[in-house]
Amino acid sequence: MIHIFKNRVLKGVVTRHIEAGFSGEIISAGAELRSLIRKKFGRSLHIREVDTGSCGGCESEIISANNPVYDLQRFGINFVASPRHADALLVTGPLSKNMLLALKNTYAAMPDPKFVITAGDCALNGGLFKDSYYLAGPVKDILPVALHIPGCPPSPEAIIKTLLAFLRQGSPSR
């Protein structure tokens, strides 16, 4: 117990205060997102995420988008383990040659209709690694990318707002 108290005193407060306006903004965007997902898919949107060689930044932000502050699941977005259950494929990281076949196989295993989302600068064009000898190229040259979430890494708010804008303009539906 003394160890916990000592760490608390040494580290100080490490959480941040969430403004009331911010929470309301996320809730209103999420309510619209949930409504659009139900209208277009008739149920929740299932996403299979594949990391093709990233630094882990995009994955951290995707995990943050699922924490209690943002909670994508309450808005009707579920991450699934099997591509056979997915409506969308979310790709992060620069596409390394080692992951090329796995990415193609994952996409092929998904039922139609399906669409591809890239997240972060690396998935768009290789990001910092674009001149590397070990990249297979941008994901858009391999798979038909319908949506890109910009950023390095994209914040949870950017993920929510970009998905919302995409669904507003009309995306693939079931």
In this predicted structure, the answer to whether residue 19 has a pLDDT above a threshold of 90 is: no
Q: Is 162 helix (H, G, I), strand (E, B) or coil?
A: helix
Q: Is 89 helix (H, G, I), strand (E, B) or coil?
A: strand
* Structural domains of the chain, ranges and CATH numbers in brackets: 20-169 (3.40.50.12280)
- Give the Å distances, CA to CA, from 52 to 55, 64, 89, 90, 135: 10, 19, 12, 10, 10
Residues 128 and 110: their CA atoms lie apart, in Å, by 30
User: What is the average per-residue pLDDT within 59-66?
Assistant: 91
pTM score of the predicted model: 0.84
Residues 32 and 42: their CA atoms lie apart, in Å, by 15
pLDDT computed for residue 18 by the predictor: 64
Q: What is the pLDDT of residues 124-173, one digit of tens each?
A: 988 888 888 888 889 999 999 999 999 989 999 999 999 999 998 875 65
Q: 71: which residues sit within 8 A by CB, 6+ positions away?
A: 30
Q: What is the pLDDT of residues 43-62, one digit of tens each?
A: 899 999 999 988 889 999 99
User: What is the average per-residue pLDDT within 70-84?
Assistant: 92
Cβ atoms of 37 and 77 closer than 8 Å: yes
Percent of the chain with pLDDT over 90: 51
pLDDT computed for residue 162 by the predictor: 93
Give the strand order in the sheet containing 88-92: 77-79, 45-51, 88-92, 115-119, 145-149
pLDDT computed for residue 55 by the predictor: 87
